[in-house]
Amino acid sequence: MADPIRWARYRWQRLISTEGREGSSPSNSSNKCHQSSKAIGKHRIVIPCLGHFKEEYEKVSKLYMNNKIQTTKYTLLNFLPRNLFEQFHRVANLYFLFLVVLNWVPLVEAFQKEITMLPLVAVLTIIAVKDGLEDYSKYKMDKKINNLLTKVYSRKEKKYIDECWKNVNVGDFIRLSRNEIIPADMVLLYSSDLNGICYIETASLDGETNLKQRQVVRGYSEQVSEIDPEKFSSRIECESPNNDLGHFRGFVEHSNKDRVGLSKENLLLRGCTVRNTEAVVGIVVYAGHETKAMLNNTGPHYKRSKLERKVNTDILWCVLLLILMCLTGAIGHGIWLSRYSEVPFFTIPEPGGKLIPPALAAFNVFWTMIILLQVLIPISLYVSIEIVKLGQIYLIQNDIDFYRETTDSTIQCRALNIAEDLGQIQYIFSDKTGTLTENKMVFRRCSIAGQEYCHEENAKRLESYQEVDSEDEDSADRQCGSSMHMSKWQGHDCRAVNEPLNRKSLSLLSGSHSALGREDGGRDAPRSGHVAFSSPIETDVVPDTQLLKKFSQISSHSYDQSEASSKLSLETMYITDFFLALAICNTVVVSVPSQPHQKMRLSSLGRMPIKSLEEIRQMFQRLSVRRLSSSPLPSVKESSSESPSSFVSKLSVFRMKMASPALDEAAQRAAELHNMDSPENSQVPQELDMVNVAVGCEYNSATSSIELSPLPKLCYEAESPDEAALVHAARAYRCILQSRTPDQVTVDFPGLGSLKFQLLHILPFDSVRKRMSVVVRHPVSNKVVVYTKGADSVMMDLLRTASEDTNNSEMEQKIKERTQKHLDDYARRGLRTLCIAKKAMSDAEYAEWLNHHFSAETSIDNREELLLESAIRLETELTLLGATGIEDRLQEGVPDTIQALRKAGIKIWMLTGDKRETAVNIAYACKLLEPDDIIFTLKSQNKDACALMMGKILEGIQKNASKKQPGQKLGNVSASLSTQSPGFSAGLVIDGWTLEHVLHDSLQNIFLELTEKCRAVVCCRATPLQKSVLVRLVRSKLKAMTLAVGDGANDVSMIQVADTGVGISGQEGMQAVMASDFAVCQFRHLKKLLLVHGHWCYTRLTNMVLYFFYKNVAYVNLLFWYQFFCGFSGTSMTDYWILILFNLLFTSVPPIIYGVLDKDVSAEVLLQLPQLYMMSQKSLAYLPSTFWITLLDAFYQSIVCFFVPYFTYYGSDIDIFSFGNLINTAALFIILFHLLIECKSVTWIHTVVVVGSILFYFVFTLAFGATCKTQNPSSNPYWIMEQHMTDPVFYLVCLLTTCVALLPRYLLRVLQGTLFPSQVLRAKHLDRLTPKEQREAIKRWRDDCVVNCRVELHATSGSFSSVTGAVSEEESVASVLPTSKTPL
């Protein structure tokens, strides 16, 4: 049989090539040559290093990178210089390097040279060690990856050999097996799958665990055996390397100049894993750092927090303060020297005997003072902040409340440096689907041909549905789920029949699995965790009884191909096409759980003889034109004399006949029937049809009972939950999507048997068209049919207008009107709506469109625009079939979370792509909008009308607010968020078209002014780009802290633009998570993340930063006050070692513990009183006044710490270092006890750290005093601390100094807590009450808040009639109407 098949294949290829040569005119050829020559410089040409390409390959390959990767920054030789170079990019390190160099100048030397270097060397060493360890781990990973082995074709050995990844080059042929990782970006030229499909897992790139299909390049998928690299004579031209994972543009040019377009479906990306495919072969187009995966690996994104920016500003104030103190010292030193009439005895002349004038001496002292007072600029602050942030992130990640058991996941903190921003959020921009809702799409209602089917039984099931972890459900999940549990909806009579059939179906599946004879057949069966959108609540759909009856009418017909359309009623045809569209118009991957995704291709016809009719049929299927006509090969280039109809007729020469159930189904199921045990299965095909058509439910006496058949166990892997819901809905009516290949879709339909649709094209969904389409050749009518589904806002405009057939036109108009009413009703119920439509094309129309589409597919430049134009050209004159309503239920705890966030003073905007009614209904359901809110729906057709409407709304609001008339519902709202009245109650709803107008530069300010007066904004029909523009607008214009939260790839842009991005690890992959700063499992986790951890992180870090400024200023001032008694000479009363280590060691750990563990209010109280969040939101803990008060307190405490010991020992003969030791010890007690006063919760850890710091200081000073000999003989710290420890005056002075210094701050805190406590102090008092008393106190607190709101509301009340009246006058150009206030 091999020879006839090869002969047929040869004749077919000759026919195609002849048509291609006849259809290509000279002008087209010249255009091609011109395009190729023009694109060589801009694009990449890929050729193999084989055969006649060798010379050209040597020239081209030099331009491309090899596959070796290097993610490390350093080598052994450049580590030290490069790391130091990078570290000295930080201004703080440059400052301290300047001080080190300055201290080496003899005239201005203040310390010993080695001592001055100590802090800088310590910081540089710690960071260098950290960077070195990180880079070494990258080096080991790079080495491991580069030395992985893969199969590369060797031109010398003429076979595939093992080669390291790093030796792979562009143009190499790679052969991969199942479960192997793809080493480089390569174009797929061969797959062992019969249909030319390769399954890959892209989790390493986008986090999605659903398997993706990739397709062999058209023209190569028909190969019987594996591709021979030696015979590859084509060249590939593609775009230059880029990081766009969603697109790939290029074409394969054969030796006869024919081109075949390339897309992302033909590209295997580096880092992905081959699954469920035995062998694939591809040619490398991008290698190493030019692969898309490496170009997307930009490393961690860095965001600077608001607090960090403020700290940098305050450090500049500290620099100015340092300069002022140094100028004071320099001027004082000059004045002091000029007061001596004679040369002072301590003045040392220069080597030439010349004396230094007072002015020059003052200049030198200025730089000496810079070195002496350097601690005023806190070098350890930056290190301490990083440590504190790591500790805070650790506490967040280990919070058990963020753990979700069902998904075994918890919060991820991907950005380590903006945790404190969580406590200052003013605006939240939230996606709807998957963020506020579960993204579990449940089919609820549908409308077909203007008739609505309510699916009441399905609604009752959903109301009482509870997902339980029973053994049956677990086993169903492991097998990817049956489409539905029939016993749940078929009534008492059906259950007894259904249960044994389900068990029987399981045995049939196991029998067919064993008949395959594959030992590893189930090895790659998808697990439940790898299949999204497959929970029972999504897959189980209870059919509508009325619609089932109409399905029985379809099954009652004896279907014949030639007379089918004339026999069926129009409504039945609508129902048939509607459910076919649900099953076909998608990209769902179908697999059987107990079998691998692919069937093995015959490796060679000569080596494996054909033994069965089934194999013969499959071979002819591969040879048939269904595959070639689905891909626009050069045969579409017709000559001008050839008509489109003749061209299409040639395409159908070898078309398989699908109409006869007896022939087709017998051939299709030949391999399955011999495995089945039941004798019924061996009967005639007509009986098989009856089993397939069975709907399994007994209706009434007028309807015959149909025997129930089991549903096959199929696994549907969808890229979106909407697609999965529609496919499962069709499956519930026994319109079962059986299989999908790149060229064919098989659907089992009641009464029609197995229908094999020739899949010609898929036009995927995009945010511009807002729809997707599939182009198929119908197996019954043999016509080209376009099935389209999309948003009603665009679909209704694409329907065909009135035609010559008046009756049909009137009927279609009625269907359109009724369907629109149903769509509006679905939207009001909060359902997601889709319109379903079709279009039948003649062969001539299809051939004409195909010519344009082919040129778009084979272009590289502007390919997306050309494909968009081609799709729009096709999707016109559609016939409306019906609409669907899908429910996406709210996540648990969303209403409570939104209410709490709003009480916390956070404005929430919902940005969604759904229609207005759906968005508003969900907003009411989640309590984003309240029933008492006044809702403005802003919808206009042009910019001027939009500006007029917003102006009138604002004018009316401000007029009524200023009059303060009784009865008004609007509170007194100012333009700023901080002064907004809690009683304000209005919301704004705006659609995507109007957003285009309001985002114009001239309308941005008035739009933002309007939104500030509304406590909630709902933007519907918003595109991903509009979402990001809105976030950027609010962030830049209002200077507000923004948070964006989403779960899908369409939310990535706004997540990256916001100050803080939060990703929901939901059903739509991990793109949003990978682009976010924080990732949570559910929206409700935002409540604790912001109100608790955000509040804690901000207050802890601000208090620690203020404490650091206080600590450094207080200690540096001790040195400054001493200058008044030493002639401003720049000397110190303390040994240099003690001076440097005081801030570096003795007082560094307590503030870090303070910043990590301090807790002003418990988590329980913060959650119950969201109003406390406003304290951190308004930055009350770190106001400019707070900073300066802290510095003033530091000045006061330093004065006390210096002058109390000074006056105590006034007139005595105490030496300098003894005096300095006393001041140092008193300063240590003051600084540490000051921290205890500021601590809101003192734990045993605080106590241990404070006591440990004191003990460490005494141990060090005792050891230092007992062993140290100073280099400066005039000041010797030897045995000083030992002498002080025996002196009672020492203890008395330390105690007195500490009490006097801390008394004002202590009294201030006492008065704050008793006479005028803040909100936080009042809440802190609640933690000391018993649980019962605490509940009563919180209830009183809430009641007081409600009363205050009502008082403010009543004080600013007035009539709102003037506003609504002004709005109604302009209804023709814009609509500002109160929306329905009935929540779900």
Q: What is the largest CA-CA distance in the chain?
A: 131
- Residue 867's CB is within 10 A of a number of other CB atoms, namely 19
Kindly give the residue spans of alpha helices, DSSP state H, lying in 1038-1135.
Answer: 1052-1057, 1071-1075, 1085-1088, 1095-1123
CA 486-490-496 angle, to 5 degrees, is: 80
CB under 8 Å to 934, separation ≥6 — which residues? 969, 970, 985, 986, 987, 1360, 1378
3 state DSSP class of 521: coil
CA 726-455-748 angle, to 5 degrees, is: 45
Write the burial class of residue 1105 (CB in 10 Å: 0-12 exposed, 13-18 middle, 19+ buried). buried
Residues 204, 273: Cα–Cα separation, whole Å = 9
Residues 832, 333: Cα–Cα separation, whole Å = 80
3 state DSSP class of 448: strand
CA 870-872-878 angle, to 5 degrees, is: 125
Residue 431 annotated among the catalytic residues of the structure: yes
Provide the b/e sequence for 1130-1147 (b: ≥16 CB within 10 Å).
Answer: bbbbbbbbbbbbbbbebb
CB under 8 Å to 611, separation ≥6 — which residues? none
Nearest to 585 by CA among 748, 440, 846, 776: 776
Residues 686, 663: Cα–Cα separation, whole Å = 11
Q: Is beta strand 715-717 parallel, antiparallel or unpaired with respect to 273-275?
A: unpaired
Beta carbons of 1031 and 1042 less than 8 angstroms apart = yes
Query: Catalytic residue among 314, 431, 743, 1059, which?
Result: 431
Written as one letter, the residue type at 54 is K
Beta carbons of 1167 and 904 less than 8 angstroms apart = no
Beta carbons of 1245 and 1153 less than 8 angstroms apart = yes
Residues 920, 393: Cα–Cα separation, whole Å = 36
Beta carbons of 588 and 726 less than 8 angstroms apart = no
Residues 629, 219: Cα–Cα separation, whole Å = 11
Residues 46, 171: Cα–Cα separation, whole Å = 6
Beta carbons of 594 and 525 less than 8 angstroms apart = yes
Write the burial class of residue 110 (CB in 10 Å: 0-12 exposed, 13-18 middle, 19+ buried). buried
Residue whose entry in the numeric block shows the structure tokens 């190499």:
172
439: phi then psi, degrees, rounded to nearest 5:
60, 25
Residue whose entry in the numeric block shows the structure tokens 């309807």:
703
Residues 682, 669: Cα–Cα separation, whole Å = 11
In order, the DSSP letters of 455-513 are: -HHHHHHHHH------HHHHHHHHTT--S--GGGTSHHHHHHHHHHHHHHHHHHHHHHH
Residues 945, 585: Cα–Cα separation, whole Å = 39
Host H or E run for residue 756: strand 753-763
CA distances from 401 to 761, 1082, 1194 (A): 48, 11, 40
Residues 187, 184: Cα–Cα separation, whole Å = 10
Residues 157, 155: Cα–Cα separation, whole Å = 6
Q: Which residues are catalytic?
A: 431
